[in-house]
Structure 1
Amino acid sequence: MNKQSLVVYASIVMAMLFWSFSYVWVKIVYLVYNPITTVLLRLIISSFLLFIIGKSLNRIQSIKKEDRLHLILLAFFEPFLYFLGESLGLKLVSSTLGAVIISTIPLFSPFGAYLFHKEKISSKIVLGIIFSVIGVGVIIFNKEFNLVASPLGIALMFLAVAAAVGYSIVLKGLASKYSPLTLISYQNLIGIAFFLPLFLSFELNHFLSAQPTLKVWIALIELAVFASSLAFILFTYGIKHLGINKSNVFINAIPVFTAIFAFFVLNETLSFQKMIGISIVISGLFLSQAKLKFSKVKK
């Protein structure tokens, strides 16, 4: 492995680590702030950072008039709808379960691609989804088949998954025209506009009366800098050199990293049943992206 390849793989692994740890950082911020406040502050810090980087590198492009509506739709799906589902969902489910559900995004994206871009759905995708659904079931049900996680929390996490699929559909038409830094910068800025009315209506009073500790502020800054900014830049760098499919394989590691971090930092339980469920989900994800070859038996 040459030096450049090492840098590429290191960049992707770091992005996965930052996104994995984001589920832990969110739980820490929730000790003081509510979900909408958390997302809004995260986006404000991230947008400020990205525009400084983009302008200093002269990488922020102007958006053409015919693409502005698509950009608003892009921001509606992510960060608005995605973070709305994820942030509210993580109030009700564990960091590990949330990461497992979010990691199924690569499985459901092909259905959006089929409906809107006429891309074919292979049998391995369907098989991968079946595996992953079984894996999530192992985590959320006990031996008596009773839910051990909030149904509303699970539904909200899958809302985030649906939003990510919608995001990928819209993104395909814009990615060929604008740089990732441009799109991420503007979508975060528009996301602030979406979240601001909700914040002013429901969480302003709580925000003004909250007394954040240094630990909470550090976690919030880590979310904005590492998860919402640097991770996207590192992952985009990886996609540029490895391509989308090879890079997406690394997303499968997020539930594993999150489970380990949550165990040590948040003292979340890591039961044998949970480990089995995570393994099944990851197996389904890898299966959906594997190249299956069947050779004919010679007679």
Structure 2
Amino acid sequence: MIIKIKNMLPILSILGAVFLWGSSFSAMRIILQDLPPFAVMFCRLFIASIFILPISGKLLPKSYQKGDWKILIPMVLFQPCLYFLFESRALTFTTSSQAGIISACLPLMVAVAAWFFLAENMTTKTIIGLFLSIFGVALLTIFQSKQANAPHPILGNLLEVGAMVCACGNIILVKKLSSRYDTWSLTGMQVLAGTLFFLPGIKYIIMADPSIWTIKLILVLLYLGAIVSFFSFGLYNWGISKIEASRASIFINLIPVTAVLLGWLILGETLNLKQMIATLIIIFGVIFSNQR
């Protein structure tokens, strides 16, 4: 029983991270009423970096080997820096539905990259689960009640593909480094790099109307920074260090499910029958692909 629980911990850790990432959509929806996206991303990562300070001594890499910087720098550039940059720009040119469909390709990208770079096996169940979850996410995003305007859909979709490539690269590099580096060391590097990358967002905060800084706004920012941007990265990085990268990436397809469900519960957004069916397909795909 103890062994079974121990084997489940990485999956539970990844599920926790996915739930927190999914909840960020509702939180962002609330906070974007007062602050622009670039300012929100800076606040999130800056707050996360503050929470890192008390344990900063434990974050210093103790297993650094010559040449590791060639892996560490691309890792932090891929995510959160370039990933958030590409995705935020993509959503200004294409619809959220099309972007969501493209993001469903991430687990398949990771499975292929893990097979190529990490020599991980791709089982039949993994492949079937991947395609089921991709199909489910496609249905979930297509059947959204509302869609944004798409002035340049081709450019937007290409940027979203770029974001997924960055996310895929980050997952592979984290998996490669996790055998020697502490999970929180990698998380700390990502948070600090993202804070510096989005530092220009501070100008929007300075220019903002002081009256927007309500207790509600501050609490949501604290949640996004401390819990979503820091703790969830740690959970996911630890989980991915314990199981195959291709398996861990499949859980990412639960993010839109979590976002839709919490949007329905917290913001009163509708969840139609087709979206419910798509949600069940995604959940089944994730469970099926992770059966032993």
Common fold: TM-score over 0.5:
yes
Q: Aligned partners of 1:246 and 1:288: how far apart in 2?
A: 8
Equivalent pair of 1:75/1:190 in contact (CA under 8 Å): yes
Over 3 Å counting, the alpha-carbon distance change for 1:111 and 1:246 in structure 2 is: closer
State the one-letter code of the partner of 1:160: A
Over 3 Å counting, the alpha-carbon distance change for 1:258 and 1:15 in structure 2 is: same
Over 3 Å counting, the alpha-carbon distance change for 1:154 and 1:279 in structure 2 is: farther
Q: CA deviation at 1:255?
A: 3.6
Q: Are residues 1:164 and 2:164 paired?
A: no
State the one-letter code of the partner of 1:26: M
Q: Aligned partners of 1:267 and 1:93: how far apart in 2?
A: 21
Over 3 Å counting, the alpha-carbon distance change for 1:101 and 1:223 in structure 2 is: farther
Q: Aligned partners of 1:182 and 1:101: how far apart in 2?
A: 30
Q: CA deviation at 1:64?
A: 4.7
From 20, 23, 32, give the equivalent of 2:22.
20
Equivalent pair of 2:39/2:204 in contact (CA under 8 Å): no
User: 1:183-224 CA distances to partner (integer Å, 9 max, x unpaired)?
Assistant: 111122122232235x37xxx257513434332221111011
Q: CA deviation at 1:97?
A: 9.3
Which residue in the other structure is 2:207 paired with?
208
Which residue in the other structure is 1:38 paired with?
40
Over 3 Å counting, the alpha-carbon distance change for 1:178 and 1:263 in structure 2 is: same
Which residue in the other structure is 1:53 paired with?
55
Q: Are residues 1:181 and 2:180 paired?
A: no
Which residue in the other structure is 1:295 paired with?
none
What's the TM-score once normalised by structure 2's chain length?
Answer: 0.76
- Segments of structure 1 that go 5 or more residues without pairing to the other structure are 292-299
Q: CA deviation at 1:73?
A: 0.6
Q: CA deviation at 1:89?
A: 5.7
Q: Aligned partners of 1:279 and 1:149: how far apart in 2?
A: 25
Equivalent pair of 2:95/2:148 in contact (CA under 8 Å): yes
State the one-letter code of the partner of 1:285: V
Equivalent pair of 1:107/1:125 in contact (CA under 8 Å): no
Equivalent pair of 1:20/1:99 in contact (CA under 8 Å): no
User: 1:250-279 CA distances to partner (integer Å, 9 max, x unpaired)?
Assistant: 655444332221112222221111112222
Q: Are residues 1:274 and 2:275 paired?
A: yes
Over 3 Å counting, the alpha-carbon distance change for 1:90 and 1:228 in structure 2 is: farther
Tell which structure's C-alpha radius of gyration is larger.
1
Q: CA deviation at 1:11?
A: 5.3
Over 3 Å counting, the alpha-carbon distance change for 1:224 and 1:101 in structure 2 is: farther
Q: CA deviation at 1:45?
A: 1.2
Q: Aligned partners of 1:250 and 1:22: how far apart in 2?
A: 16
Pairs aligned (count): 282
State the one-letter code of the partner of 1:272: L
User: 1:42-69 CA distances to partner (integer Å, 9 max, x unpaired)?
Assistant: 11111221232232xx343255552123
Which residue in the other structure is 1:297 paired with?
none
Over 3 Å counting, the alpha-carbon distance change for 1:31 and 1:65 in structure 2 is: farther
Q: Aligned partners of 1:177 and 1:278: how far apart in 2?
A: 37
User: 1:267-293 CA distances to partner (integer Å, 9 max, x unpaired)?
Assistant: 2221111112222233333344445xx
Over 3 Å counting, the alpha-carbon distance change for 1:93 and 1:23 in structure 2 is: farther
Quote the RMSD (CA, aligned, Å).
3.9
Equivalent pair of 1:31/1:216 in contact (CA under 8 Å): no
Q: Are residues 1:228 and 2:226 paired?
A: no
Q: Aligned partners of 2:126 and 2:158: how far apart in 1?
A: 22
Equivalent pair of 2:187/2:234 in contact (CA under 8 Å): no
Over 3 Å counting, the alpha-carbon distance change for 1:233 and 1:126 in structure 2 is: closer
